[in-house]
Amino acid sequence: MIQLTIHLGRNNYVVKVEGTAEGTNTTINAGNGNDVINVSGPPDEDGDPGPGGGNREREGSVDKVASILTVNGELGIDQLNLIDNLDPTGDTVTVTDMTIGMGPSDSFFGPNGGVIYTSIATLQLFLGLGGDHGFVESTHAETETFIFGGDGDEEILVRNGFGTASDIRNLLDVHGGKGQDQLVVDDAAESAATTVTITGQQVGAGVNDNLF
């Protein structure tokens, strides 16, 4: 089978994607409801519940996503959660305004895995136990993006392919975890005059700021 398509109904759904089959692209069309799509599977074959005691809605690994998963939010206020917090390996993940984990060096999902998303109000990434590397190239104007660090030493770089931060079009909220985490906002190639405000919790959120 090369394609699996699921159409959700008019009410609110909670969908859990534990994995996808190799060679089978999977599409979820979320319909009219306010839906929550959780992508997270057991981190190993014996289903070890991990430190959370089996709360599988907020624990697991995305390693079993082995093909392209497309989530179309359609109507409603939809949330997409990618939960990799029990993955012991350090991964690389690229986030753009349409894709997750589809960069040339990415290892966030299983081999040949990746996510395409449209019409998502809230996107959340929960990183794993190893030291992960995140590259945020762009965010969608309709999507608030949240990244939660895990136990490892995470490095998050915000920069597009032109060497600026100008493709961050909505809220990007980065939460460090238990490790020695680093957040780098790289605008070094920007040639235009720029105003940026830095506070104890925010960068570029001032009234007249135009960093992003």
Please state whether beta strands 133-136 and 25-29 pair in parallel, antiparallel, or not at all (unpaired): unpaired
pLDDT per position in the chain (212 positions), as tens?
A: 999 999 999 999 999 999 999 999 999 999 999 999 999 987 555 444 444 444 445 689 999 999 999 999 999 999 999 999 999 999 999 999 999 999 999 999 999 999 999 999 999 999 999 999 999 999 999 999 999 999 989 999 999 999 999 999 999 999 998 889 999 999 999 999 999 999 999 999 999 999 99
Integer CA distances (angstroms), 41 to 63, 66, 85, 86, 186, in order: 8, 12, 11, 10, 34
pTM beyond 0.75:
yes
